[in-house]
Amino acid sequence: MHSFLRMTVFVTCIAILAACSRERQDWKSAQTADTIEAYGGFLAKHGDSALATQAEARIKQLGEERDWQDAATVDTLAAYQAYLLQHPESKWSQEARIRIENFALAGGAVAAPATPAPTPAVAPEPAPSTGAQAPSVAAMPPPDASPVSAPAPAVSAPEPRIAYGVQLGAFSTEDKAHAEWRRINGQFSGVLGGLAPVIAPVKSGAGSLYRLRASTASEAAARGICESLRAKGQPCVVVLPVGK
């Protein structure tokens, strides 16, 4: 009886060790491949493993990275909106918000109508004859030569203008923009080199956004700053004068 129990325990231990060995091998293979499919295969075999949480987290990271690369390759407003809708808190969500806001601003600048030309004055049609002599057109007083100005569209308060600069974010409130500037300036003070923040509201489809920018002396300076910040994982977009 004791011999049978010892044999049962021995066989059980061997089975456990074999299962652990297979699990470790499968995990190592998944890490080596480092793909969504590989981690998915691991989960299919070892869904109750202690490593399952790590596999699920890595699948999420890889999915976000894949979707961001797809959005950046397409590089359209719709692509970034779709990415942000699917991954609102991802590593690249802030960069997506910046690019969406830039598309909105660029679209607004292009779509802004030029000042309408004055409508040429047209002489009124003569009234039907009732027996009384209607005054001749020549006898009528000339129309006012000054064009009638079209009513000015409602605009928000004037925002600070910069010729060259960098954009570091677009936020739902001004307080969030200021808080982000304090964080970035504290973390990358050597790159920003004492630049001052420029925060201004801009209308968007969802309401108002507050964009965080900083002026630079030249286009080259703006590009250099953005390259340095992006290399450190901080989203940054170069701002150029309209039409540049």
User: Are 184 and 220 found together in one domain?
Assistant: yes
Can you give the residue range of the structural domain that contains 189? 97-108+162-239
The mean pLDDT value of the chain amounts to 75
Q: Is the pLDDT reported for residue 224 higher than 80? A: yes
For the chain, how many structural domains are there in total?
Answer: 2
Q: Which two tokens stand for residue 64?
A: 């976000």
- pLDDT tens across 50-60, in order? 899 999 999 99
Query: pTM score > 0.75 for this model?
Result: no
Query: Which is higher by pLDDT, 163 or 165?
Result: 165
> In this predicted structure, what is the pLDDT of residue 111?
33
> In this predicted structure, what is the pLDDT of residue 179?
93
- pLDDT tens across 164-183, in order? 899 998 888 899 999 999 99
Q: Is the pLDDT reported for residue 26 higher than 70? A: yes
User: Are 69 and 169 found together in one domain?
Assistant: no
Q: Is the pLDDT reported for residue 237 higher than 90? A: no
Q: What is the 3-state secondary structure (H, E, C) of 31-95?
A: HHHCCHHHHHHHHHHCCCCCCHHHHHHHHHHHHHHHHHHHHHHHCCHHHHHHHHHHCCCCCCHHH
